[in-house]
């Protein structure tokens, strides 16, 4: 029983990271109607920036996270401005290929800057471990921070989308780009803002991911990126609660699948679930109500 | 006028191209290295190139047989490996020292066997590389030998009675060692209480595997995997206060050089490796100093294997009387003849070969204490 609880906690921790990454996919898809496959690699860059700030410049871990968020926000806006904005009127296939190209560009840039050797990421939390039931169960401080960060981000983002003027603009652009423009909404600014928020979240996700699983290399972002994309589709792409539920479920399925089905099939199970969900509910779990897309 | 100029330029270029082969040292025997010099496995390929070049420079300084080392990049990929192999033959290579990685080595060794080119791989450890090929030899242990030796060592030194294993089921190297370890452990009556695997070494969550080891009461966890996933297993085990003896193989070598890694996590980790850069014998100290001065890095096991490989070739070439004029095919038959009689005392121990191409040397166990390797008793 305690073992089961431990697995649930591991699953929630992993799922929270997937959820934060999935948010970036979902928001960009909801508003710009494109799949930003470079999102996973922004995560990797975020982790590298934080790593470099602490290792090479001796900065405080918290300060390194702030730097990482700022750098990734700038990077996200830059990627959107250079690579995606000129293609606003192009076919969705062209945009998709550009995004895949951007993903490889970022990976190879990281290879050039930080080299091929993997790095061991030092946790930015590092407050030790909570021991429960006389040492039978352990909850790391990374887990607690990850889950808390996930909750805070979800609440903040929902409030932002529903209560602020920019949030309103985002909802409008997501619903009908042309009509929003006629109403005086600056569509380009709104989309840039979406990328900025998505990339800032990617930086946080990158730091949390590497704090829990401390290995960092240029391909670090790709697998979590694909799984988070799966989570976004699973929950209903374009929906914030969908990303949350999709991410958490995916984390739980992966860990419990490994623990109770087969440790070699963890990843296979994750994608099998995706296929089944899409067969039954093509729009994902929460992806039905079109007017809620953000 | 313009035509004349173009003609002269073209003629000059052709003349230069023709000159290049003649300009090189004619009396040196060319040794070809194939390995990942760029890409994610570059650290292994570069280590082999550097180690071999140091050995060749030492040999050339003696004045007798002269070696010239030519290295070609394969990025650890079989297809590129075959291209590199053909390029090296075109460049006049007599003997191959390679390839560095197992996957590429299996592909290239097929060609080398068919075309009768002698190949000595410093570090390709997959069993299949040498099987049924009389002209393919290796410097490192084959995978199955590492598993067998590890099980033997654990039993001989009574390190534990309950053993757990975490291996990478997506990697030939890891599966090969795991299977031979399991076979030997069963023969010796070593109790395997838990076996777990993973298939992806990028930011994997190991909580399930570690919990399995812990619940089964494993006193020792055998890790036949590379150091990157091993570093994550160590840190995640530490987070839940699970501290058995961790026992690795040569893939664990490199963990202390992992940038940003908290070395205290590796305290007490044991590994079976033929080379340790901290050894105090004269040969190792000289090699490490030269390597560090030339390439600014601490050599790993791959560099040591390559260094020994060049010396083994040197011994064999001298014995067989091969010169730069000997054709690669003739050299191959001569080397097959003499190689089983060669014995060298190298960085990775005293070694000799049997006619199947496998090396015989003693692996040494090291234990990590205060962030450095210390010879285990």
Residues in chain B within 8 Å Cβ distance of A212: 205
> What confidence tier does B20 reach under pLDDT thresholds 50, 70, 90?
very low
Nearest-Cα residue of chain A relative to residue B210: A259
DSSP state of B65: S
CA angle B359, B360, B361 (to 5 degrees): 115
| pLDDT exceeds cutoff 90 at B305 | yes
Which residues does residue B196 pair with via DSSP β-bridges, in sequence order? B166
> What confidence tier does B32 reach under pLDDT thresholds 50, 70, 90?
very high
Q: Find the CB nearest A255 among B200, B203, B205.
A: B205
The verdict on a CB contact (< 8 Å) between A224 and B203 is yes
The verdict on a CB contact (< 8 Å) between A129 and B241 is yes
- Interface mutation target, options B73, B170, B178, B208, chain A, most CBs of A under 10 Å: B208
CA distances (Å), origin A244, targets A13, A29, A241: 12, 15, 5
| pLDDT exceeds cutoff 90 at B361 | no
Which residues does residue B247 pair with via DSSP β-bridges, in sequence order? B222, B270
pLDDT tens figures, A162-220:
899 998 998 898 888 889 889 888 888 999 999 999 999 999 999 999 988 888 888 88
| pLDDT exceeds cutoff 80 at B355 | yes
> How close, in Å, is residue B67 to chain A by CA atoms?
30
> How close, in Å, is residue A216 to chain B by CA atoms?
8
> What confidence tier does B22 reach under pLDDT thresholds 50, 70, 90?
very low
The verdict on a CB contact (< 8 Å) between A258 and B208 is yes
pLDDT recorded at residue A128: 74
pLDDT recorded at residue A204: 94
Q: State chain A's mean pLDDT as an integer.
A: 87
> What confidence tier does B16 reach under pLDDT thresholds 50, 70, 90?
low
Which listed CATH number (3.40.50.300, 3.60.10.10, 3.30.450.40, 3.40.50.2300) goes with B144-273?
A: 3.40.50.2300
pLDDT tens figures, B182-191:
999 999 888 8
| pLDDT exceeds cutoff 70 at B7 | no
pLDDT recorded at residue B13: 57
Determine contact, residues B184/B241, Cβ cutoff 8 Å: no
pLDDT recorded at residue B250: 82
| pLDDT exceeds cutoff 60 at B19 | no
| pLDDT exceeds cutoff 80 at B24 | no
The verdict on a CB contact (< 8 Å) between A119 and B260 is yes
Please report, rounded to a whole number, the percentage of residues in chain A having pLDDT higher than 90: 35
pLDDT recorded at residue B201: 55
Cα distance between residue B174 and residue A281, in whole Å = 40
pLDDT recorded at residue A212: 86
Question: Looking at A202-216, B126-140, B193-207, B215-229, which range is the least confident one?
Answer: B193-207
Mean pLDDT in residue range A33-44: 90
> What confidence tier does B317 reach under pLDDT thresholds 50, 70, 90?
very high
Mean pLDDT in residue range A30-39: 87
The verdict on a CB contact (< 8 Å) between A255 and B207 is yes
Residues of A within an 8 Å Cβ radius of B: 3, 6-7, 10, 14, 51, 55, 116-122, 129, 131, 135, 138, 140, 142, 209-210, 212-220, 222-224, 254-255, 258-259, 263-264, 266-267
Nearest-Cα residue of chain A relative to residue B260: A120
Determine contact, residues A228/A22, Cβ cutoff 8 Å: yes
Question: Looking at A147-156, A169-178, A219-228, A277-286, which range is the least confident one?
Answer: A277-286
The verdict on a CB contact (< 8 Å) between B196 and A138 is no
Question: Looking at A78-82, A237-241, B132-136, which range is the least confident one?
Answer: A237-241
pLDDT tens figures, B169-184:
877 788 889 999 999 9
> What confidence tier does A70 reach under pLDDT thresholds 50, 70, 90?
very high
Residue extents of the structural domains in chain B: 22-141+282-361, 144-273
Is it true that B22-141+282-361 and B144-273 share their CATH fold?
Answer: yes
Identify which has the larger pLDDT, B32 or B26: B32
| pLDDT exceeds cutoff 90 at B290 | yes
Topology (CATH level 3) of domain B22-141+282-361: Rossmann fold (3.40.50)
Which CATH code is given to the segment(s) A2-114+132-292?
A: 1.10.3470
Determine contact, residues A166/A193, Cβ cutoff 8 Å: yes
Q: Find the CB nearest A10 among B42, B202, B207.
A: B207
CA distances (Å), origin A112, targets A50, A116, A228, B40, B203: 17, 8, 26, 11, 21
Say whether B165 sits in a helix, a strand or coil.
Answer: strand
Mean pLDDT in residue range A218-242: 87
pLDDT recorded at residue B23: 40
pLDDT recorded at residue A118: 80
Cα distance between residue A240 and residue A23, in whole Å = 6
Question: What crossing angle do the helices spanning A266-280 and A222-235 adopt, rounded to 10°?
Answer: 30
pTM above 0.90, yes or no: no
Nearest-Cα residue of chain A relative to residue B42: A116
> What confidence tier does B83 reach under pLDDT thresholds 50, 70, 90?
very high
The verdict on a CB contact (< 8 Å) between B202 and A129 is no
Question: Looking at A7-16, A56-65, B17-26, B287-296, which range is the least confident one?
Answer: B17-26
Report ipTM for this prediction: 0.79
> How close, in Å, is residue A152 to chain B by CA atoms?
24
pLDDT tens figures, B94-152:
999 988 988 899 999 999 999 999 999 998 888 889 988 999 999 998 888 888 888 88
The verdict on a CB contact (< 8 Å) between A55 and B209 is no
| pLDDT exceeds cutoff 80 at B365 | yes
Determine contact, residues B27/B68, Cβ cutoff 8 Å: no
The verdict on a CB contact (< 8 Å) between A6 and B196 is no
Residues B335, B338, B339, B340, Cα dihedral to 10° = 150
Q: Find the CB nearest B232 among A10, A213, A219.
A: A213
Residues in chain A within 8 Å Cβ distance of B236: 213
- What is the count of residue pairs from A and B with beta carbons less than 8 Å apart? 105
Residue extents of the structural domains in chain A: 2-114+132-292
Burial class (CB in 10 A: 0-12, 13-18, 19+), A129: middle
DSSP state of A90: S
Please report, rounded to a whole number, the percentage of residues in chain B having pLDDT higher than 70: 91
> How close, in Å, is residue B246 to chain A by CA atoms?
18
Determine contact, residues B347/B308, Cβ cutoff 8 Å: yes
Instruction: List the one residue out of B255, B292, B284 whose CA is nearest residue B372.
Output: B255
pLDDT recorded at residue A149: 92
């Amino acid at each position: 029983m305690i073992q089961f609880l431990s697995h649930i906690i591991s699953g929630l921790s992993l799922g929270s990271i997937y959820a934060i990454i999935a948010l970036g996919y979902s928001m960009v898809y909801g508003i710009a109607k494109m799949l930003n496959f470079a999102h996973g690699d922004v995560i990797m860059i975020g982790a590298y920036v934080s790593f470099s700030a602490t290792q090479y410049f001796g900065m405080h871990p918290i300060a390194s996270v702030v730097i990482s968020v700022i750098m990734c926000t700038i990077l996200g806006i830059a990627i959107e401005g250079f690579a995606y904005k000129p293609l606003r009127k192009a076919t969705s296939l062209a945009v998709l290929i550009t995004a895949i190209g951007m993903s490889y560009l970022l990976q190879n840039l990281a290879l050039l800057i930080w080299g091929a050797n993997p790095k061991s990421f030092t946790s930015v939390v590092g407050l030790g471990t909570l021991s429960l039931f006389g040492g039978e169960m352990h909850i790391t401080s990374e887990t607690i921070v990850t889950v808390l960060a996930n909750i805070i981000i979800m609440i903040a983002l929902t409030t932002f989308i529903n209560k602020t003027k920019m949030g309103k603009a985002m909802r409008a652009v997501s619903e009908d780009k042309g009509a929003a423009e006629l109403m005086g909404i600056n569509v380009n600014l709104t989309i840039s803002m979406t990328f900025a928020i998505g990339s800032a979240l990617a930086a946080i996700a990158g730091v949390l991911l590497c704090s829990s699983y401390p290995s960092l290399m240029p391909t670090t972002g790709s697998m979590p990126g694909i799984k988070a994309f799966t989570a976004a589709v699973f929950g209903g792409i374009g929906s914030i609660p969908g990303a949350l539920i999709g991410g958490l479920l995916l984390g739980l399925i992966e860990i419990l699948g490994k623990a109770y089905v087969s440790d070699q099939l963890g990843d296979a199970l994750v994608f099998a679930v995706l296929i089944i969900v899409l067969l039954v509910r093509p729009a994902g779990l929460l992806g039905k109500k079109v007017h809620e897309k953000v | 006028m313009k035509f004349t100029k173009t003609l002269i330029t073209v003629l000059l270029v052709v003349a230069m191209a023709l000159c290049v082969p003649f300009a090189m040292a004619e009396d040196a025997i060319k040794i070809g290295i194939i390995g990942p010099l760029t890409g994610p496995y570059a650290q292994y390929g570069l280590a082999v190139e550097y180690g071999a070049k140091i050995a060749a420079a030492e040999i050339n300084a003696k004045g007798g047989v002269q070696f010239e080392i030519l290295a070609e990049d394969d990025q650890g990929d079989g297809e590129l490996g075959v291209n590199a192999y053909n390029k090296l033959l075109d460049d006049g290579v007599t003997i191959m020292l390679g390839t560095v990685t197992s996957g590429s080595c299996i592909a290239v060794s097929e060609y080398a066997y068919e075309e009768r080119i002698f190949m000595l791989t410093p570090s390709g450890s997959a069993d299949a590389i040498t099987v049924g090929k009389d002209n393919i030899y290796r410097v490192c242990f084959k995978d199955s030998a590492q598993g067998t030796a590890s099980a033997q060592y654990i039993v001989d030194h009574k390190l534990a009675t309950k053993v757990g294993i975490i291996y990478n089921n997506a990697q030939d190297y890891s599966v090969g060692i795991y299977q031979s370890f399991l076979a030997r452990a069963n023969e010796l009556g070593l109790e395997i209480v838990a076996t777990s695997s993973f298939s992806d070494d990028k930011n994997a969550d190991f909580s399930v595997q570690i919990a399995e080891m812990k619940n089964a009461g494993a006193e020792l966890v055998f890790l036949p995997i590379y150091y990157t996933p091993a570093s994550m297993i160590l840190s995640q085990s530490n987070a839940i206060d699970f501290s058995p003896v961790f026992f690795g193989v040569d893939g664990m070598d490199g963990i202390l050089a992992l940038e940003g890694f908290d070395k205290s996590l590796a305290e007490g980790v044991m590994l079976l490796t033929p080379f340790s850069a901290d050894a105090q014998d004269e040969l190792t100290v000289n090699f490490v100093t030269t390597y560090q001065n030339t390439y600014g890095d601490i050599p790993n096991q791959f560099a040591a294997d390559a260094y020994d490989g060049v010396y083994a070739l040197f011994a064999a070439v001298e014995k067989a009387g091969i010169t730069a004029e000997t054709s690669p095919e003739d050299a191959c038959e001569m080397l097959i003849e003499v190689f089983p009689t060669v014995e060298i005392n190298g960085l990775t121990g005293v070694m000799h070969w049997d006619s199947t191409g496998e090396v015989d040397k003693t692996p040494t166990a090291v234990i990590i204490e205060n962030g450095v390797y210390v010879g285990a008793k």
